[in-house]
Amino acid sequence: MKANFYQTVLFFYFLFLVIFWMFLYASGTKTDFLNYLYSFLFGLIPLIGGFFCMINAKIWGGMKSSIGKAVFFLGLGLFLWGAGETIWSYYNFFLNEPAPYPSIADLGFAPSIFFYGLGAIYLSQATGAKFGFKSLTAKLLTAILSIGLFFFSYYVLVTIARAGVIVPEDEPILKAILDIAYPLGDFLAFVISAVVSGLSFKYLGGRYKIDTYSILLGLFVMFIADSVFSYTTTIGTFYNGSSGDLMLTVGLFLITFGALGFNTKPNVTETN
């Protein structure tokens, strides 16, 4: 696979962010301007990448084709996440709130996961993956992933972080809901994509095999990252530029990288 222009630019920007994060980690700062700056900069990955995906979905026929819809909704989900991070940074820089959660920023974060999943569903339609759900392997894979990740989330977010209490007395109900909803939403999108990934590689000449892998892995990393975010904000150890933010950076990079792969169209005769 040869990366396109968008993916190449994104890759080098991602390397810059990793070096930036290593500097922050070595410095040991947790509430410095640079911590807020890192948070803002990694949010540009989904914001700008998602924008280009929405714009370039037209090369697949836009809303007239399944791939066009998949690229658009993946892009919309990324863009909304980036918008949420931009609002988060506004709280950081101008209102001096290091962790505005819950806040208006969640109006961007929350729906983004829905559109990730919607994009994965349209991708499955484009590749014919809907037929794969009838196979025993696909059903077993879905069941194992669903059960395993559900219990993992419950153990980390409820048993450990909340001592077995879903909504502690001193915690806002909205935060408790979002703490569960974010990893759960990532988990559902990941399960859909996991099934899709094993069924779509033979389509379009295998051109998008790596891109699909990247989206799949990114969704899994986002599941872990959102679990870490919910956990650290619950026990009071969250800070901007933490290892959790690095995980978010990696997850968003992988999803955006994969989605941007569909921003160039190969010479194929079948796109639906």
Assess if residue 112 is contained within a domain.
yes
Is residue 269 assigned to a domain?
no
Question: Is-contact 20 55, C-beta < 8 A?
Answer: no
pLDDT digits (tens, 9 = 90+) for 21-64: 999 999 999 989 999 999 999 999 999 999 999 999 999 999 99
pLDDT digits (tens, 9 = 90+) for 163-199: 555 666 666 778 877 877 787 777 777 776 666 555 5
- Domain assignment of residue 153, yes or no: yes
222: helix, strand or coil: helix
* One-letter amino acid of 54: M
Q: The CATH number of the domain where 202 resides is what?
A: 1.20.1070
Average pLDDT, the chain: 83
Give the pTM.
Answer: 0.86
Residue 271, in any domain of the structure: no
- Answer whether residue 36 is part of any domain: yes
Domain count for the chain, please give it.
1
Q: What is the reported pLDDT for 233?
A: 85
Q: Where residue 129 falls among pLDDT bands split at 50, 70, 90?
A: low
Cβ-contact 113, 77 below 8 angstroms:
yes
Q: What is the residue range of 157's domain? A: 5-261
- Would residue 268 count as lying in a domain? no
Position 206 in a domain: yes
| 196 within domain boundaries | yes
Residues in CB range of 256: below 8 A, 6 or more apart: 10, 45, 46, 49, 50, 53, 78, 218
